Amino acid sequence: MIRETLTIAVDFDGTIVEDEYPRIGRPIIFAFDTLKKLQNEGHRLILWTYRKGRTLEEAVKFCEENGIFFYAVNQSFPEEEFDASYSRKIHADVFIDDRNIGGLKSWGEIYQQLVGAPAPAKPKTQKKGLFSFLK
């Protein structure tokens, strides 16, 4: 379990949502739950993505709609300005990215490893109502 404040860099496509770039895919199960839990515990979340411009804004907005407010986006801290004389690698304690060697762990595992608690139970799929075909 983490006891200090961590800076956690998180990728978007293929990590928070299924990779449908440039569209926004469906959220990956437990991604937002885990990020919210980390955010509520005071950890700094940095969005670290290839996206830029409009597709980046859409991703940030989508995360905000799901309760995630990033400390910084594609930079190490909010006021950082791009300067070619510095390394482009951002400063973070942990990176969560689907391109990690070995692939992305499930968010259930990430939750367990970072938060130190088992992930919440999967929501039960709703039984289809009699008239669900009308929807």
Smallest distance, Mg ion to C-beta of residue 73, A: 15
Which CB atom, from 2 or from 58, has the smaller least distance to Mg ion?
A: 58
Q: Specify which residues 96 forms β-bridges with.
A: 10
Q: How far apart are CA 99 and CA 117, in angstroms?
A: 25
Structure tokens at 79: 């006021």
Query: What is the DSSP pairing of strand 7-10 with strand 94-96?
Result: parallel
* Residue 4 Cβ vs Mg ion, minimum distance, rounded to whole Å: 27
To the nearest 10 degrees (0 to 180), the angle between helices 107-115 and 31-40 is 20
Cβ of residue 50: shortest distance to Mg ion, in angstroms?
7
Nearer to Mg ion, 41 or 57 (CB): 57
Cβ nearer to Mg ion, comparing 59 with 72: 59
* Residue whose C-beta lies closest to Mg ion: 14
Q: Quick one: tokens of 120? A: 């919440």
**Residue ranges in contact with Mg ion by CB under 5 A:** 11, 13-14, 98
